[in-house]
Amino acid sequence: MGEGAGTMDVSSGFRRFPVWAVALGAGLGLMLIAVDPAAAHGPTIEIRHDEMKPPLLNLFVGTTVHFVNTVAMPGGHVIVDESGTIESPPLEKPGDDWHHTFDEVGTWELFIKQHPKVKARIVVVPKR
């Protein structure tokens, strides 16, 4: 093999790197992006004592929403909808979370079972 075979000159004045090292670095970077938990679950609603934030989400059908409890609640916060078709497990500690995928077009009025005035509205529309 001639001199420089299997290496990539990144730029004049910079060190030469083996092609495999550049490919490995790029692959690892893509893996970090692909497993980012924040990107994996879609929009997030924070559950607080006196509000769900944001109080309104407009989504495409099939979107999964991540609900995260931010406050301690003995017995837990339970998220329900007015029709009784959605009910989360109790979320007791800050950081407790739950995911729900909205598979149907429509509007859901969610509230916290223990605090019925704490609400969020989810509007689900067809994919384009």
**pLDDT tens track for 28-86:** 454 434 444 444 568 999 999 899 999 999 999 999 999 999 999 999 999 999 999 99
Question: What global pTM score does this model have?
Answer: 0.69
Domain ranges of the chain: 7-35, 42-125
Identify the band that residue 16 occupies on the pLDDT scale cut at 50, 70 and 90: low
Instruction: Enumerate helices (H) and strands (E) in the chain, giving the number of each.
Output: 2, 10
The pair of structure tokens assigned to 44 is: 């997030």
Could you tell me if 79 and 57 are in contact, meaning their C-beta atoms sit under 8 angstroms apart? no
75-113: per-residue pLDDT in tens?
999 999 999 999 999 999 999 999 999 999 999 999 999
CA 70 to chain centre: 16
CATH of 42-125 among 2.60.40.420, 1.10.287.1770, 3.40.630.10, 3.40.605.10: 2.60.40.420
CB 90 within 8 A of CB 63: no
Q: What single-letter amino acid sits at 27?
A: G
Quick one: pLDDT at residue 124? 98
